[in-house]
Chain A
């Protein structure tokens, strides 16, 4: 498009399409194209994007989704007519459900976003299957190959051995290496779902002693020293030490940085820093009904909430919780409250002068009230001509004998105060939602009206 082809005051075309579970919003003029993709499946209905400065995002049917009455519905609603495609929701979404693009490039790439850190130390990683099995979002994929036991143990003539094998299930972290080494003798019963508070990926480990020839290789590769093998006598055989090879692949887009992999890793190879800090407060516990309502267990993306089965009813694993706030909105009885106290920013490029406004958005994401004034405050020196000051002083003396002007001034002063206190009011006036603005203004200035 040539620049001279563009007409002044051209109106953008805003469209909305649904494609493969993604809602695509597009804002297009002949010069610029901005898009916002919303992934319905990734969104958990937390409240992180709700402080949208344009109030374009509202919460959807989170309670209904948590209780299973609705499936596949978007959990937040984006009003494309209000959205300015600034990408702030993208920079706050720790589940990466939003994707904002500006002329085909990722909008957030140039700015900061709320995100944790997940690093894998390849030298320490063995690898094993443990982190992959416990990951609540399926962000880790371990491709582990261990030499098969039958290739490592070679007999000269006969195949026989005598001895004993024992697995200490208390020590065992259920990493699954022994099963790969020797699937004939060792069977691990994997559980379908990893559940708190212990987050163990398997129910139990069994040894079939008929198949075991007490070679002792499983004891050698066990990272927890949970297997003890005693071989009393055997046929002549040659045993080669097993080698473990493989790679742990981490999908940063899917990862929510809950830190469960860090907790379970037997080699301390994973370091995770959470995106948000805070605490979950359980109140109104008398109303909670963990047998009839499973909303918070269902909605929690990292499975940090679990029923205790005792008088406490439910408990929150604060080490596991990522403080997204989805449970708070899913609860029909206001039992849970998520209080966020801090956030971690991933700085993608150097901060610009005007990016301070972005920090204010992050402050409101963690629940701190943004300051009422000074939204884009910076120090500018302005020389004010003397004349203007004199006029301003004079203006304060304006008045009338009957006091009507003073009364009107009082009303206007009150309006001005309300407007400066609440930036949302100016937003309503800007958008033409005058009824909303009048309602709010009248609500807060009732005392003055009655005077």
Chain B
């Protein structure tokens, strides 16, 4: 798991997130501030929309949508952060290593390698 710090989740564009997959990551979790707490008013909102749209695009190219995770955790909620990341890692473990699937066949090889990008002040 590689934590990557970014100033704001709104800063991550589609290209940046795809880069993680291009480098071989099994999944990308973008975790940032709550939408209503956004210092820049719409940064977190934009990020969520962008992730939802990007998920649609990558699913079309055979990458499972669950490999893209967007979560909101405020700086004081340590336990929440841990829970979300654990859940995400478990999900990725279940999905197995990165692969392209154009049918519904789910591969269940077990591998542990997930990349998580933590945003905000964490």
Contacts and interface: CB of A to CB of B under 8 A. Distances in A.
Q: A and B, one complex?
A: yes
Given A405-B97, A405-B98, A432-B49, A420 B15 contact: yes
Contacts, number: 98
Interface string B79-118: 0000000000000000001111000000100000100000
Contacts of B14: 419, 425-426, 429-430
Interface string A388-418: 0001100110111000110111011101100
Chain B, interface residues (CB within 8 Å), range: 35 or more
B63 A412 contact: yes
Interface in B18-67: 18-19, 21-25, 35-36, 38, 41-42, 45-46, 49-50, 52-54, 56-58, 60-63
Nearest to A432: B53
A408 B63 contact: yes
Contacts of A441: 57, 60-61
Contacts of A292: none
Given A398-B23, A413-B22, A404 B13 contact: no
Contacts of A404: 97-100, 107
A8 B37 CA distance: 8
Contact of A429 (B24, B45, B50, B62): B50
B2 interface: yes
A451 to B, nearest CB: 11
A416 B24 contact: no
A16 interface: no
- Name A's interface SS: helix
Nearest to B100: A408
A443 interface: no
Contacts of B13: 426, 430
29 contacts: A8-B41, A9-B35, A9-B42, A392-B23, A396-B24, A398-B23, A404-B97, A405-B97, A407-B100, A408-B99, A408-B100, A409-B21, A409-B23, A409-B24, A411-B61, A411-B62, A412-B22, A413-B22, A415-B21, A415-B22, A415-B58, A416-B15, A416-B19, A426-B13, A429-B14, A429-B54, A441-B57, A441-B61, A442-B60
A107 to B, nearest CB: 21
A300 to B, nearest CB: 42
A212 to B, nearest CB: 79
A415 B61 contact: yes
B78 to A, nearest CB: 23
Given A408-B62, A441-B61, A9 B38 contact: yes
A412 B17 CA distance: 10
